[in-house]
Structure 1
Amino acid sequence: MLTKNLVFALLTFTLSTSVQADLVVLQYHHVSDATPPSTSTSVSLFEGQLQMIEDLGLEVVPLLAGTRDAREESRKENTVALTFDDAYESVYTTAAPMLADRGYPYTVFVNTNAVGRTGYMTWDQLEELASREGVTLANHSTDHGHLARKPDEPADQWQQRIEHSLDGAQRELKQRLGVDTPMFAYPYGEFDSTLEEQISDQGWYGYSQHSGPIGVHSAPTRLPRFPMANAYGQLGSLKNKLLSRAFPVETADLPDGVITSNPPVLEFALPETMTPDRLTCFASGMGRIEIETVEDGMVRVQAPEAFSSRRFRYNCTHPAGDGRFYWLSQPWLDLSQPEN
C-alpha cells in the first residue's frame, strides 16, 4: 500500500512534469510578394515558416478544436493553428495550395462586404474552400469597421452598429455557405469590454492581434495571435514564438485595453514560481521598459512616455525552462487617435 507521503510525492512529480497544453495561433493577411508589405507575408517566408513548424514536429490543428483543447489543457505539447484575415485572393491562389500539399488545416476570417472586390476572394472561391477538408470560414464583420464604442457614441447607436456588423456577417455566411462557426476576429485587433460582452453573449471565441499563445488562463473573448507579416514573422524569432508558453495569469483580470491615461499602467501578480528579476517587458516602439515590484507579489509596468499611435502593446516574457518563454501581451487602444 502506498503511504500518504509517497502518494503526495507521486502527485507532485506528475504535476511538476506535466507539459502545459498551449496553442500558438499565427495570423496572416496576404501571402504574396506584390501586396503591401505591412500586411503581407512573402511566399518564401511563408514556406520557411511552414517548414519550421514541420521541423519542430508541431501538430497543426483546426483553430476551434485547438482553442478548446488549449483552454482545457487536454494536450501535452504545443500545437499550432493558422489563420487568415479578410479573405484576400492570395490566400486562395498561393497559400491554399501550399497548405493542401502539407495537409494543414486553417481558418479564413471573412469580412463579407469585401467579398468579390478586387484583391479579395469571390463567393464561389469561398464556397469551394469551405468544401475542402480542414478549411474553416468564420466571421470578421461585415465592413471591417472599428467596433469599439467611439467616444460620445450613444449606446443605442453603438448597439445597432455592432448588431449589423456581427450578426449581418454571421447571417450572410450561413445563408451563402452554410457556415455558422462560433469564432470572431476583431478588425484591427481592436476591442473593449462592452464588445467582449457581445462576443460572449453570442457564445463565440474572440481573436485579436496581440501576441502570445492560448492556454488555460486565456479569456475566451481576448485570445491572442502572433502576427506573421514580413516585419514580425521572420524565422530568427519564430522558433521562440512557436515554442512559447501562455503566461500563467488570468487574462480576464487584465485591464480593458481602452486607455484612460497615457502611458497606461499594467499591473499583474507573478506566480510564486516566477521572479521579477527574470521578467522582461517591452513597449511598442520604445524597446525594453522598467518593471516595478509592488506589494503582494504584484508587478507594475508603465512606458516612460506617452504613445502617439492608436494601437500599441506591452509584451512581457519570463523563462519557462527548456529554452522556452512564458509570453504575455497586453493590447492598448487610444480612442482619441484617428481610426486607421
Structure 2
Amino acid sequence: MTAGKLCISATLLSLLLVSLTTKADLVVLQYHHISDATPPSTSTSVSLFKAQLDVISDLGLEVVDLHEATENLFSHSPSMNQSIALTFDDAYESVYSVAADILQKRTLPYTIFVDTKAVGNQGYMTWDQLQALAERDGVSFANHGAGHGHMARKPSEPKADWKQRTTQSLDSAQAELQKKLGTGLPLFAYPYGEFDETLEAKVAERGWFGFGQQSGAIGPLSGKTRLPRFPMANAYGQLNGLKDKLTSRAFPVDANALPDGIMASNPPTLTLPLVEKIKPARLTCFASGMGRIDFEVLGDKISVKAPRPFNSRRFRYNCTHPAENGSFYWLSQQWLDLSQPED
C-alpha cells in the first residue's frame, strides 16, 4: 500500500472513530398548554413557543417523529444525528387552536399523549378536533391513561386493587385511541411523570416505551420504560438555557441500574457508577429548590445526597458533565415521596 493510500485510510479511520464517539441522541420536549391565559405552571406562552422552535431551527436540529426516532435509537444501527421530538400531554384545547397551526406552517411532526377520559371536557380537545388533527401529516397520538390518576402503587393499597385500576387505565385508553383515532402506538406517558418498578413492568409487558417528566436526552443506555423529557413550560423552557438542553447527551450510565425513584429515606441517596467518561472534578449536581449540592466519590461509585429533607411529593437530582463539542451529559433522577398527598 502506498503512503498516500495509508494516509487516506488513516484519515477515514480517524473520521469513523470521531463519528462513533460523537454519536448524537434524541431530545424530547414536553408541553401542556400553548397559551398566554392558562395556568403558568403548565403553560408555554405563544411567543416563547415560537422562539423555542426558532432556536431548534437556528441550531440546524431535525424535528422527528417520536415513535420512529425512539425505535431507531434502540435499533442495531441508530441515526448519528442529534434530533428533537415534540410532545404534548393531556390533549389540551390550546394545542388544537394555537400550536397545531404554528407547527403545520413549519411542517414539524409532534405527538399528543391523550388522557382519554378528559376528551371533550372544558379546556380539552374533543374527539372531532383530535380526528381533524389526525388527518394532518406528522401528527400522532399516544396513551396517557384514562383519567390522569396517580399510577404508582399507594403505600396501603392492596396489590389486586392497584393491578385492576392501572390495567384498566392503560388498556381502556389504548382501546379508545384505537377505536376513535385508529392508532395503537406503543408509547405511554406517565401521569405526573410518576412511576415505580411494578408500573414499569406493566408498560414493558405491553411492549411500550414509557416517558416520564424528568429532564435529559435519550441514548442507547436509557431505560425504555423511564425515558426522559425536558419540560418546556414558561419556568423551565426559557431561551437562556435552551441550547444546552437541545444539544444535551444521555448520561453514560445504564439507566436500568438506577432506582425507580420511590423514596426510602429523606433525603434520598443516588448512587452512580464511576464510568470512564465521567470525571468527578467536572461533575455538577443540583437538587430541586436547593441549588448545587455536594457528592462523594466512594471507590468506584459516586454518591449524591441533598443536605436536608424535602417536603414535596416530587423532586429531582440533576447532574451534568461536559461532553463532546460543547454539549453536556445530562441526568435527572426524579424522586417520589408516596407519603405526601397526591395532586
TM range (shorter): over 0.9
Determine if the alignment matches structure 1 residue 113 to structure 2 residue 89: no
Q: What is the correspondence of 1:1-340 to structure 2 with a 5 Å cutoff?
A: 14-18=16-20, 19-72=22-75, 74-296=78-300, 298-340=301-343
Q: Secondary structure at the match of 1:109?
A: strand
Cα displacement (A) at 1:325: 0.5
Secondary structure at the counterpart of residue 266 of structure 1: strand
Aligned to 1:322, the other structure's residue is in SS state helix
Once residues 337 and 309 of structure 1 are traced to their aligned partners in structure 2, the CA distance between those partners, rounded to angstroms, is: 7
Displacement of 1:71 in angstroms is 3.0
- Is the Cα–Cα contact under 8 Å of residues 20 and 245 in structure 1 kept in the other structure? no
Cα deviation, residue 190, structure 1:
0.2
Percent identical among aligned pairs is: 61
- 1:16 CA drift (Å): 4.0
Rate the CA distance shift 1:260–1:251 in 2: closer, same or farther, 3 A: same
Q: What residue identity is the alignment partner of 1:245?
A: R
**TM-score between the two structures when normalised by the length of structure 1:** 0.96
Tell me, in whole angstroms, the C-alpha distance in 1 between the residues paired with 2:136 and 2:19: 39
RMSD value over aligned CA atoms?
A: 1.7
Contact 2:33 2:43 (8 Å CA) reproduced? yes
Q: CA deviation at 1:130?
A: 1.2
The CA distance in 2 between the partners of 1:256 and 1:79, in whole Å, is: 26
CA distance in 2, matches of 1:307, 1:9: 53
Unmatched segments (≥5 aa) in structure 1: none
**Does the 8 A contact of 1:26 with 1:225 survive in 2?**
yes
Q: Is contact 1:183–1:205 with CA below 8 Å preserved after alignment? A: yes
Corresponding letter in the other structure for 1:75: S
The gaps in structure 2 that reach 5 residues or longer are none
Say whether the 8 Å CA contact 2:252–2:277 is kept in structure 1: no
Deviation at 1:339, TM superposition (A): 0.2
Residues 113 and 141, structure 2, Cα contact 8 Å, conserved in 1: yes
CA distance in 1, matches of 2:331, 2:139: 29
Instruction: Single out whichever of 32-41 and 125-134 deviates more from structure 2.
Output: 125-134
Aligned partner of 1:140: which letter?
Answer: H
CA positional deviation for 1:175: 1.2
Residues 146-182 of structure 1 show CA distances to partners (whole Å, capped at 9, x for unaligned) of 0000002111110000111000101111111211111
How many residues align? The count is 337
* Residues 9-62 of structure 1: per-residue CA shift (max 9 Å, x gap): 975762344322300100000000000000000000000000000000000000
